[in-house]
C-alpha cells in the first residue's frame, strides 16, 4: 500500500486512475474524518481518500463518472475536493491523504475508524 500526502501527486494519481464510482465509505462525526472509496473497473488497485478535520460536505453517498479536482486554499488553510460534474464538494481543515493499493491490503485497516 502507498500513502500519498502531496495534493499535486494526489491529483495526478486520481486523474490517471480514472475512477468509475466513488462512495462515501466511512464518516466519524466526533473526529470529523471522512473516507472516500474510489473504484475503477480497469485497475487492480483501489484508492481511498482520507479527509481530516472535514468541516463541509455537499454530496451524494455514491456517484458514477467522477471528475475530481483537489486544491489548497492558503488563506484559509483548507483542502477542497470538488466534482463539478456531480455537484460534490468537501472542505477539510486537517488535510488529505490518498491510500493506493490492492483490495486485500485494506481488509482490516479501517476497523477502528
Q: Per-residue pLDDT tens for 55-65?
A: 999 999 999 99
- Return d(Cα 98, Cα 15) in angstroms, integer: 13
Q: So what's the pLDDT on residue 31? A: 84
Q: Which residue has the cell 473526529?
A: 31
Q: Which of 15, 26, 21 is nearest to 63 (CA)?
A: 21
Q: What is the DSSP letter of 52?
A: S
pLDDT along the chain (113 residues), means of 10: 96 96 91 93 96 94 95 96 94 96 84 63
Q: Which of 56, 92, 88 is nearest to 71 (CA)?
A: 92
Q: So what's the pLDDT on residue 65? A: 94
Q: Are 81 and 56 in contact (CB under 8 A)?
A: no
Beta strand residue intervals within 29-109, DSSP E: 33-39, 46-51, 54-58, 62-64, 69-73, 78-83, 88-92, 96-101
Q: Are 90 and 35 in contact (CB under 8 A)?
A: no
The verdict on pTM exceeding 0.75 is yes
Q: Are 52 and 100 in contact (CB under 8 A)?
A: no
Amino acid at each position: 500500500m502507498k500513502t500519498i500526502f502531496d495534493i499535486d501527486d494526489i491529483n495526478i494519481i486520481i486523474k490517471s486512475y480514472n475512477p468509475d464510482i466513488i462512495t462515501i465509505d466511512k464518516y466519524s462525526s466526533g473526529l470529523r474524518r471522512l473516507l472516500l472509496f474510489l473504484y475503477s473497473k480497469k485497475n487492480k488497485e483501489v484508492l481511498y481518500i482520507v479527509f481530516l478535520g472535514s468541516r463541509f460536505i455537499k454530496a451524494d453517498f455514491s456517484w458514477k463518472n467522477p471528475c475530481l479536482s483537489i486544491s489548497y486554499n492558503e488563506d484559509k488553510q483548507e483542502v477542497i475536493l470538488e466534482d463539478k460534474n456531480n455537484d460534490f464538494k468537501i472542505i477539510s481543515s486537517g488535510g488529505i491523504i490518498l491510500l493506493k493499493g490492492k483490495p486485500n491490503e485494506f481488509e482490516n485497516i479501517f476497523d477502528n475508524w
